[in-house]
């Protein structure tokens, strides 16, 4: 036998009315879970009386559902199982440093993180968009028992999920046919020539897998100047070659080999059919390219 845990601990900064409503939701959840009203007429009368005592903000956020006799039915929709309406987490509130807002601390080791995400969406518009993480663990070493996840909450949707699901989605996106890939290098140092490309004898330092076919390279310099290189297929069995260059800012040029310094690209991405195999924003500063360079003409290639 093993015990499984979902742990979370995070702060969310909200306006005072949102903090009051969120606190009321936690208190109401605890009250319903501990003092179940029952579904007979007497229990429903008790539920109606209790609902009438809730704040105007609570009743506006969770109005009664027309088809339901239980006035808390809308509130109970937060939980996957409305028969167990508990967040299994603690909540505390203190003033934020500016004195204008509230800092809410939510934590628990058996937390219903989905319900917590849903109640934040319903009660804390002043904090959205917002995200928090959680971890999963087990009292015994069991396969798949260690992980975690996150939720990103907006007024319209809740994004994210567990790391197992995220990992499986990433695995599905990995192309299986490696024969279609080429190793086309991007260089951190290059002798700038026509259209910003360097000859074959420059040493590649950042090899990147790119599918055969058309793709683009988009770059943004440290001066926030933007340029896009467009590439298309040269032959059915050959690598893509330069097609066009697009300058997005007036005065932006790529050195022609006349000694002008190459622009330093702080951000460089490669995209092919919507995919993004390389994004320099994730790279260390020392690995960021000084100029976008591709090996398109190897020695001996026919013109």
Q: What distance lies between CA 85 and its chain's CA centroid? A: 28
Grade residue 279 by pLDDT with cuts at 50, 70 and 90. Answer: low
Query: Among 79, 107, 147, 77, which Cα is nearest to 12's?
Result: 107
Running DSSP on this structure, what letter comes out for residue 111? -
Task: Give the span between the Cα atoms of 21 and 17, in whole angstroms.
Answer: 6
Containing 165, the helix (H) or strand (E) segment is: helix 163-173
Question: Which residues on adjacent β-strands are paired with residue 241?
Answer: 232
The size of the chain, in residues, is 303
Match 């990433």 to its residue by tokens.
170
Phi, psi of 286 (to 5 degrees): -65, -20
Domain ranges, ordered by start, for the chain: 4-172, 178-287
Which tokens hold the place of 184? 């086309």
**Nearby residues of 292 by Cβ (< 8 Å), 6 or more positions away:** 186, 196, 217, 219, 227, 229, 265, 268
pLDDT in tens, 98-133: 888 999 999 999 999 999 999 999 999 999 999 999
pLDDT in tens, 205-256: 444 444 555 566 666 655 566 666 665 555 555 555 555 555 555 554 444 4
């Amino acid at each position: 036998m093993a015990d499984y845990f979902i742990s979370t601990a995070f702060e969310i900064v909200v306006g005072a009315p949102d903090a009051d409503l969120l606190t009321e939701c936690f208190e109401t959840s605890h009250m319903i879970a501990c003092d179940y009203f029952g579904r007979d007429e007497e229990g429903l009368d008790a539920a109606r009386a209790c609902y009438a005592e809730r704040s105007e903000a609570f009743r506006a956020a969770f109005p009664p559902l027309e088809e339901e006799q239980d006035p808390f039915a809308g509130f109970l929709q937060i939980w996957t199982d409305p028969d167990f309406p508990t967040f299994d987490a603690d909540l505390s509130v203190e003033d934020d440093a500016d004195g204008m807002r509230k800092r809410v601390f939510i934590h628990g080791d058996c937390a219903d993180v989905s319900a917590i995400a849903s109640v934040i969406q319903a009660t804390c518009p002043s904090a959205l968009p917002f995200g928090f993480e959680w971890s999963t663990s087990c009292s015994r070493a069991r396969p798949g028992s260690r992980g975690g996840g996150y939720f990103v909450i907006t007024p319209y949707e809740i994004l994210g999920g567990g790391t197992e699901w995220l990992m499986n989605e990433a695995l599905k996106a990995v192309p299986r046919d490696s024969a279609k890939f080429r190793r086309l290098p991007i260089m951190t140092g290059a002798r700038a020539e026509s259209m910003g490309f360097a000859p074959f004898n420059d040493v590649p330092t950042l090899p990147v897998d790119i599918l055969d076919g058309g793709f683009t390279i988009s770059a943004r310099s440290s001066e926030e100047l933007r340029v896009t290189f467009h590439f298309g297929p040269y032959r059915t069995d050959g690598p893509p070659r330069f097609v066009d260059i697009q300058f997005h800012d007036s005065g932006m040029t790529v050195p022609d080999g006349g000694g002008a310094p190459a622009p330093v690209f702080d951000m460089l991405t490669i995209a092919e059919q919507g995919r993004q195999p390389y994004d320099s924003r994730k790279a260390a500063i020392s690995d960021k390219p000084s100029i976008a360079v591709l090996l398109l003409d190897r020695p001996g290639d026919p013109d």
